[in-house]
Amino acid sequence: MKNILRVENIKKVYGTKEILKDISFSIDEGEVISIIGPSGSGKSTLLRCINLLEDITSGQILFHGEKIKANEEYRQKVGMVFQNFNLFPHKSVLENIIEAPTRALGEKKENAINKANEILSFLGLSDKANNYPCELSGGQKQRVAIGRALALNPKLMCFDEPTSALDPSLTLDVAKLIKSLSKTGMSMLIITHDMEFAKLVSDKIVSMDSGKIIEKHIYNKCEII
């Protein structure tokens, strides 16, 4: 299996506080990896470093063997679904999804709308295209956030705590959605503190505590019925 992302010995220091202490792991093409750990262990910081929202203090992050750079290509290939979704509140669902392809990639509006409609249909949100984020439930907002990331055809999708803002009964729906995305060959990196959820969706689970990796487990993915 080919590596898509490789994190090598990264450290992150804020002031005098070492938040990430020598973190290394890799994700293969098509693989789903969950990083699990208690609150404050550095999970979101790690994801923010991978998404270039933070600089790393030392070490390196490689994407297809090359050091990551803050350019459009990398931003397009690595999608991010934030814990609080970060939707544009003044834009409709459809406008949220076409924003990046039209603005960042210069895609024609008509093409972007066609593709957004396909994504909304895949996510079961076709009837919400013209609604605004404040008119949606938490689960629907999250699906829009996923749709917005999908609109750029990412190779790797990162999720920060995809179940934490949702009603527990929706956890299984998120797991099913992640499974159907993984069947398309998309690699995924999921940050969570929910071990049961991680076991449902992951090929590998990496446990983190106090900025360090303490365990790596390989799972046989089970089917969700």
Site residues (CB under 6 A) for ligand ADP? 14, 19, 37, 39-45
> To the nearest whole angstrom, how small is the minimum distance from the Cβ of residue 161 to Mg ion?
6
Part of the chain binding Mg ion (CB under 5 A), chosen from 25-33, 39-47, 90-98, 138-146:
39-47
- Return the one option of ligand ADP, Mg ion, none that residue 41 interacts with (CB less than 5 to 8 A, by type): ligand ADP
- Is residue 44 near Mg ion by the rule CB under 5 A? yes
Nearest CB to ligand ADP, comparing residues 40 and 124? 40
Part of the chain binding Mg ion (CB under 5 A), chosen from 6-14, 35-43, 74-82, 99-107:
35-43
> To the nearest whole angstrom, how small is the minimum distance from the Cβ of residue 153 to ligand ADP?
27
Q: Which of 206, 225, 217, 218 is nearest to 41 (CA)?
A: 206
- CB atoms under 10 Å from CB of 198, counted, come to 25
**Rounded distance between C-alpha atoms, residue 95 and residue 112, angstroms:** 10
Provide the H-helix boundaries in 51-194. Answer: 72-77, 93-103, 109-122, 138-150, 171-182
**Rounded distance between C-alpha atoms, residue 186 and residue 72, angstroms:** 19
Q: What length is written for the chain?
A: 225
Nearest CB to ligand ADP, comparing residues 44 and 207? 44
Q: Which residues of this chain interact with Mg ion, rule CB under 5 A?
A: 43-44
